[in-house]
Amino acid sequence: MRVLARATPYHKHLLIIALKEMEKTIAVTGDGINDVDALKGADIGLAMGSGVSVAKEAADMIITNDDFEAVMQAVMWGRNIFANVKKFLQF
């Protein structure tokens, strides 16, 4: 996982385009009006619960407690569930 902090909206947009061209899966967190384009452009947009309503509407998921550790736990659980369902279907 790579983390990019304190980037301008333009740089976030360029990064998303470049990563999509490389066929990478992209998750973006944001809480402000300047994060809306990045939230929409990413495969998974995560808005902070304390953020503005426009960012929440653009996101795929809202993190209600604003804890990034909760995001990491959710990703780990999601990957585990996905792997188990995949194994079950292959069986």
pLDDT value at position 2?
65
pLDDT value at position 23?
94
- CATH ID of 9-66, from 3.30.360.10, 1.10.10.10, 3.40.50.1000, 3.40.190.10: 3.40.50.1000
Pick from 14, 18, 40: nearest CA to 27:
40
Collect the ranges in the chain with pLDDT lower than 50. Answer: none
**Structure pTM?**
0.72
Cα-based torsion angle of the residue sequence 62, 88, 83, 23 in order, rounded to the nearest 10 degrees:
-90
pLDDT value at position 20?
92
Give the Cα separation of 83 and 34 in Å (integer). Answer: 35
The domain limits of the chain are 9-66
